[in-house]
Amino acid sequence: MVNLPLAHDLLWGMTPAQLPADAPQWAVAALAAGHPVVVRRALSADGFVAVGVRGVLREQRLAAFMPLDSIACRVSPEALCQVECERDLPVMQALKQLRPMLDDCGWVWGVSGSVGFELASGFAAMHAASDLDLILRTPHIIGRNQARELVALFDQTACRVDMQLQTPFGAAALREWASGSARVLLKNAHQAALVIDPWNPQEQAA
């Protein structure tokens, strides 16, 4: 593939045989059933991408590495923004409520987490207490006041909404950026570090 997969992309094509020898049975069963894997932030050897396998239970998560040449299909979070689902759950109510505002915000956004997994694959992953996980591609800085406005909108929905701000240097949590904390956690493939500005992580306090 010309473009390397990005964090939160869903990938199809990994087989049970490509799992570690000591992989749990639930992970083997998930891949045997045709479930996609999700790209995670971690370094990998040339020709591989770091992925996570999802099980039915929340604690069933397995870190693995998928050969790039095994990728048969790739779906990004932003490809799922307009996908509908017949299940009447709080997360879907929240997504429908927020969709017009997010479409008009001028940024590229997407759906990740259990909602994105089910919308992309058709395999049940959402439940009544699911959070809605969103990403926002933010090549340029979002002011803290704007972040607080987004959080206020999210808190008016039927479920908890968490958004990751995808900066050129990694991902930061919208709620943390909106909180006014002097430093926020910035995560990328190399590390997770507390920074003053997720769009300029080299900047340090005087």
The residues carrying an active-site annotation are 131, 133
CA separation (Å) from 149 to 100, 121, 157, 171, 177? Answer: 16, 32, 14, 19, 12
Measured distance CA(87)–CA(123) in Å, rounded: 12
Q: For the residues of 58-125, what is the DSSP string, one character each?
A: TT-EEEEEEEGGG--EEE-GGGGTT-------HHHHHHHHHHHHHHTSSSEEEEEHHHHHHHHH-S--
For residue 9, what are the contacts with CB-CB under 8 A and spacing of at least 6? Answer: 38, 39, 74, 75, 76, 77
